[in-house]
Structure 1
């Protein structure tokens, strides 16, 4: 089974719980896990080539010269449209221009670039972006499957079926677009975060997180379709600033419960029509800097709705700026099963709460806080409350991102390329066992 970024993310313009796309009450526990993996991240072989189509409006306004370039992974990418990862070469810079670029491209994030000025060094756009983006640009993520034997509950079937509490299951550790985008924004909203969390939030939780009170809606193609015209660059970008988040979704009007929303993609704005994204959910797609044209090639504008949102603390016009909006929570707190349970209790309609009787293990699991933060559950519910599919996904905190002592440039820790760090995770899970 291959993880699909187009899995349903049912929601609506009003917060609610949607049983068709995500069973938030379906809980599990992970015990005595054996993990087999060669390493999570890989830098595919690439060729470097010019990319004259890259335009950096902020640099252009400052009259700072640059040349666009692309790292081409060729056949290592799953599709030709995922082969390129972009960057820009500025050459040597004056200290004044260096400071201006740093303010623009890293100023939106409280976890900032640590690159230091050197008058003799050739600088690149990546030097000015937050550390997480520096460290991941151009690499691929290799998902892993953790087989478990008679350890995880299966809820497949109808609400009156007996829960198969201990059955053969797999836990999928994967990184998709919104899991990565949330980590980018979490680090932007919390100063000096140097560790990296790998997560794939269940789609409903992801939608609720990106459209919650921590974000202001800036604009949407649903109300202004002209925003999506290729040549309408000025109108599309006049309200957008670096650090804004782009949500791409579509409607499905044919569901039994009415019109639902389906989240397809999330990316972070870097400059006008320039974004940073985890370009897909498969193993052979890059974390990359991409242009509007590159993104729309994978998500045609005539199919999807595009909307842009902004962190409250990055919006001086936000009515919540001095209010009680808390800083973004880490993925382990927001997307773990314990959080899913809390959300379910808030959003389950009273008419459907009889379904809760299936999940009597909630009381016991709620006491295993660390364990529940390490897992998310995604499930599709059909008519009659039948669970048609379910996927357990892991939430994993890596070691701290590393920094070059001389330049300050960020790079992934060595453990991201080896399986050795799984040993500590496995031991932690073993200690969490309460069977």
Structure 2
């Protein structure tokens, strides 16, 4: 009997709106090939769309920080042909031409109005890591043996503890076993029903917006606070274009602003490129990733899914919380200066500010004062300004893009 498979590279799972205002569900290959023909992402929630957008950007950032628009490795980077990962970095040569090369790649892609074959080649190289049902490398998950090796003995899968209900991961319901959601879009017998495509979308979203109610933690030498999910602690800001291709391109920060570019900035430690044990070891350090692709796909939980008659039983183990103070690599947040600690931190949105329009806090997005520590632009705004200064974006496009 052949092993079951649901490969995100080739199976449709991402919801989009096409040129005819119709909803489609597409695969990763289809999305990157036809991005200019889709208006926008169209998942169940805008927060889910943001999580998926960052996941897509992680793939593009990984590929185009290693290869130019022609699919050739940059001269200052040595790439292992088998893994398509960087193995060495010439700092002197990068200092001479690295930033210009990356900006040229962005410019070439933007004017071509499509992504190139190298993205598909990368996805095909790691296709086995994008299989939601793989027995060896399940997407965004650990195998049963890996999960059991990472959690306390009394929390292993056989004990049946540390589970998260599908209806809790599905944020259109967001119901625990203790507090029923009266106004759920699904009736009680079907609250845990979810297609494989929807499960993939919510799995990515859950890693970004996890709460902190979990009782199971990954085993570590020192005690730690469980991560609430990186996006959970941001007030996000991003750019939108006339179609999905433009939206991806406007947010494709190949030259991160406010940080020094070095090998860590372009040498991604991605969950689908590394053994899970190695990835979790890096997460246990509590250090904020040094590159965007890793930051966009950072895990807040180690997830393992057991399947019982086609129904998922989801096990979840918490990973350490990351300190987002002065994490200037993150481009999609507004900032505020903490006078007590004398450092910048993301300016979070609270319940009493949810109804405030973006324009009412214009100064948090666009610097209008010169005083030190009075304002700090979001990284995505500085990136758009850089593109405009390099004549790669017109001012008209720049003004219309920020959301």
Tell me the TM-score normalised to structure 1 length.
0.28
- Higher relative contact order structure (alpha carbons within 8 Å, sequence separation ≥ 6): 1
Greater fraction of residues in helix: 2
Greater fraction of residues in strand: 1
Tell me the TM-score normalised to structure 2 length.
0.30
